[in-house]
Amino acid sequence: MVTAPLRCCLLSGGASRRMGTDKALLPHPEGGTWLERSLRLLLSLERPVCLLTRHRAHRLLAPAPVEVLDEPPPWDGPLTALARLMDRYPGDSLLLCPVDMPWLDRPTLEALIAAGTGAGGPAVPAGTLLTAHDGRRDQPLLGIYPATAANRAALQRYLAGGDRRLLGWLEQRGYRPVPLPAAALRNCNRPAAWPGPWLVSSQSIPPG
């Protein structure tokens, strides 16, 4: 069973090329930006929260007590980001969350956490990697990743081989999918997928 401290980690370091604007700064109907809404959601779980980003504008929006981490180059995607988080928080279980799931809600996160702790179900062996599953496919950017010594070593070996695919590492390492509501797991990468008003610049912010 997972007993390590749980830490919520928001990934917000992408370039938003397909969206055509910085999606983390898009206005959310619940108030503020996608980024601010995501951080409020994670803070509502009453667990430590960190934000990993390479964008200065994102860092400035993070409220206390969020720990803000500057993501240095190379920016090789979420697997490299996960490795950095595991190295920073060894021994913790990391609830990884992307900034571009604007429909994500607290019940969905609580269901994922319950699966990770074995609450109401079979015990989960320590170190088990869990990913969200929407009924059709895995959504590995939302998951629980215990930063055990074994997982950290396996991840470093995988990265040393030159592969940067998160799902590729999971398939090699072994993981457990957690069925969750598909509506909450919708990933929004293109303008047509988001019905909200466009109240921000059409240009992505530069890394800073």
Sequence letter at residue 7: R
Q: What is the pLDDT of residue 102?
A: 92
Instruction: Spell out, as residue ranges, where the chain has pLDDT lower than 70.
Output: 1-3, 14-20, 120, 189-208
Domain residue extents for the chain: 6-193
- Name residues whose C-beta falls within 8 Å of residue 129's C-beta, 6 or more positions apart in sequence: 143, 144, 145, 146, 151, 170, 173, 174, 175, 176
Whole-Å CA distances, 175 to 35, 93, 116, 125, 140: 28, 14, 12, 11, 10
CATH for 6-193?
3.90.550.10
Q: What is the C-alpha separation between 159 and 148, in angstroms, rounded?
A: 17
pLDDT digits 0-9 by tens, 20-29: 678 899 999 8
Q: What is the pLDDT of residue 174?
A: 97
Whole-Å CA distances, 62 to 21, 51, 67, 112, 204: 19, 8, 8, 24, 19
Q: What is the pLDDT of residue 193?
A: 62
| Residue 6 DSSP label | E
Q: What is the pLDDT of residue 206?
A: 30
In order, the DSSP letters of 74-143 are: P---HHHHHHHHHHHSTTPEEEEEETT-TT--HHHHHHHHHHHHTTTS----TT--EEEE-SSSEEEEEE
The pTM of the full predicted model, rounded to 2 decimals, is 0.89
Residue 127 has which token pair?
A: 């170190």
Q: What is the pLDDT of residue 8?
A: 98
What is the SS3 assignment for 30? coil
pLDDT digits 0-9 by tens, 122-136: 778 989 999 999 999
Q: What is the pLDDT of residue 118?
A: 76
